[in-house]
Amino acid sequence: MDPVKILKRAWHILWSYRALWVFGLILALTAAGSSGGNGNNGARFSGDSSNQSYEAPLPENWREEISKAFAEAGKEFSRILEDGLPALGISKGELTALLWVGAVFVLVMLVVGLVMTIARYVSETAVIRMVDEYEATDTKMTVRQGFRIGWSRTSWRLFLINLIVNIPVFLLLVVMGVAGFVIYTMVAGQSGDFAVAGIVGAIGVVFLAIFVVVILSIFLGLLRHFFWRVCALENVGVGESLRRGFTLVRENWKNVGLMWLVMIGLGIAWMLVSIIAIILTIPIVAITAIIGALVAAIPGLLLVGLFSTFLNGYLPWIVGGLFVLPLFFTLAFSPWVLLTAWQQVYASTVWTLTYREIKALPAETPEMEIGPVGD
Amino acid sequence: MSDHILELLSAYIDGELHGGQLRKVEAHLDECQSCLEEYYSLQALSATLHAAPVPDFPSPERLAADVALRLPRKPVKPMSRRALEIGWWLAPVGLIVAWIFVSTTILVSNAVTAAGDFGLLDSASAWLVAGSSGANYSAFLGQFGLLAGNSLQWAEMTEAFTRTAVPQITWQVSIALLYLSWLAIWWTRHTRQGLGGPFDSGGRPTVK
């Protein structure tokens, strides 16, 4: 297998097959960061604690203080519901209306989230199948055809595979929760050195858990590329995809490993390139931000008009703005979304080509035993 | 006239007939001229075949061994070269593990520092997060009145940032650059030599 040839071919497909960009845009809006395609989405620097030294330590009886604060907050909330917020000019009726609007907002966001999740897996399936079809028959599909082959039971299976692959992360959360509880118990127990030893032990467990789970997640993320492709291209169930995908990777671990190392390197290079690209495209983003503001203003004004029927003053503007903010951000940052879309399509194409290449390799058989040659 | 026994002649010549069948054939040959001629003809053919030299066909095992011996063999690499090759492929894996280790350390360290600053670690905080909010150079200068008010606060914040963020960034950037160097060398070698690395294998290419 020649990784460089695969990378060059994927590059060619990215620029010559524009219908893939549409699905890349959907992936960029819905899946960026979770299926980067290389198991390495760049170094994430943790927030520094530079200003934490200015935080005043909590008082000795902080547990009682927190309970009292919660009780007071509850009372205050009840009072606000009764009287509204006179200081901000919000009456009781307006507050009730605001709470309803908030509930509608959450509902809308949930629906949008659901639609985006469906769109993500349909797009994943479409990109994999479109690239495979192009390689097999040299025919390019339209966006409509792409949606047609993406909208299938396979996209649901891809979702389930992703869910299974992410199980270690859930386990990490459980371990960290238990460790947090241990730390709390140790501190609450006030047992001196024992508390210190317990905390150190819990921190060690958390460290080990994160370390192991990150490695495991990277490995499972690599396997996921093949699980997905077996599922989408061989049209088999989840269990069978996992089994065949694992066998495929095990039998070709050298080729898969090499491709993975190369893709991680490209991921790092992409991170550096994207930082430069983001800086260079700031003027374009400024223009798209103006366009985004103009486009988002239309539904925004309609919403403001709607909310004005039961809200007064500046509240309809704030609430209306909140609803159209996602639309504005999508349009304003569309150049950066496009960059991510290309990255998504390229990574997916590389793994589809790798899968095809590996499938075409002759199956490895155990070496034949050669006995002594007699006369 | 009795029935001919042509179908039994081959077995008769090979001596495979016994009892009644043998007697039947012998009796028939005594009285049937055409079958006797056929018998002589077959006997002559059998004698000719027995006289011919037997070709030297090798056994299947021998044939397989001969084919395997004629196939091109991988040259045996010296131990030092193999170790170098394994090291070459382990280098990026080591860098990835190092990156995960550093990131995890930073994450846990920041979490512990934050917990300590919020007083959540209680008595253990002094031992665990020593130095995170302790004396620094800015505070030292502040004692002598060289820094005061907002200037002191800014200086302390800058110093704290330098102390925590800069090493983290340096570590991660170093690992990233080392990895990119490995990739660049691999790419150059690959382009210069073509296929021939340890992970190369044959097969029908599907990429056009």
Whether residue B71 lies inside any domain: the answer is no
Q: Give CA–CA dist B41/B43, Å, rounded.
A: 5
Whether residue B68 lies inside any domain: the answer is no
- On whether both B126 and B180 belong to a single domain, the answer is yes
**Cβ-nearest to A356 among B93, B169, B206:** B206
Query: Chain A partners of B105 at a C-beta cutoff of 8 Å?
Result: 207
Reported confidence tier of residue A191, pLDDT bands at 50, 70, 90: low
The alpha carbon of residue A70 is apart from the nearest alpha carbon of chain B, in Å, by: 18
Lowest mean pLDDT among A191-195, A326-330, B179-183: A191-195
- On whether both B88 and B134 belong to a single domain, the answer is yes
Residue A15: give the domain boundaries.
Answer: 3-33+73-164+254-360
**Inter-chain touch B202–A47, beta carbons under 8 Å:** no
- On whether both B9 and B112 belong to a single domain, the answer is no
The alpha carbon of residue A221 is apart from the nearest alpha carbon of chain B, in Å, by: 15
Whether residue B203 lies inside any domain: the answer is no
Query: Chain A partners of B192 at a C-beta cutoff of 8 Å?
Result: none
Lowest mean pLDDT among A14-18, A126-130, A218-222, A364-368: A364-368
Please give the average per-residue pLDDT across A312-330, as a whole number: 85
What pLDDT shows up at residue A375?
A: 38
What pLDDT shows up at residue A47?
A: 39
Q: Which of A5, A49, A51, A358 is the best mutation test for B, with the most CBs of B within 10 A?
A: A49
Whether residue B168 lies inside any domain: the answer is yes
Whether residue A296 lies inside any domain: the answer is yes
pLDDT tens digits for A28-57? 988 754 444 444 443 333 334 444 444 445
- On whether both B1 and B89 belong to a single domain, the answer is no
Query: Chain A partners of B169 at a C-beta cutoff of 8 Å?
Result: 45
Whether residue A183 lies inside any domain: the answer is no
ipTM: 0.71
Judged by DSSP in three states, B107 sits in helix
- Prediction pTM value: 0.69
What pLDDT shows up at residue A317?
A: 87
- On whether both B102 and B23 belong to a single domain, the answer is no
Please give the average per-residue pLDDT across A67-94, as a whole number: 71
- On whether both B42 and B99 belong to a single domain, the answer is no
Whether residue B121 lies inside any domain: the answer is yes
- On whether both B130 and B32 belong to a single domain, the answer is no
Whether residue A145 lies inside any domain: the answer is yes
- On whether both B102 and B42 belong to a single domain, the answer is no
Residue B125: give the domain boundaries.
Answer: 79-193
Lowest mean pLDDT among A97-111, A181-195, A269-283, B106-120: A181-195
* Number of domains comprising chain B: 2
- On whether both B47 and B86 belong to a single domain, the answer is no
What pLDDT shows up at residue B147?
A: 61
- On whether both B46 and B93 belong to a single domain, the answer is no
**Cβ-nearest to A360 among B112, B117, B204:** B204
* Number of domains comprising chain A: 1
- On whether both B99 and B167 belong to a single domain, the answer is yes
- On whether both B46 and B84 belong to a single domain, the answer is no
Whether residue A248 lies inside any domain: the answer is no
Tokens of A146: 């792409």
Whether residue B40 lies inside any domain: the answer is yes
What pLDDT shows up at residue B120?
A: 65
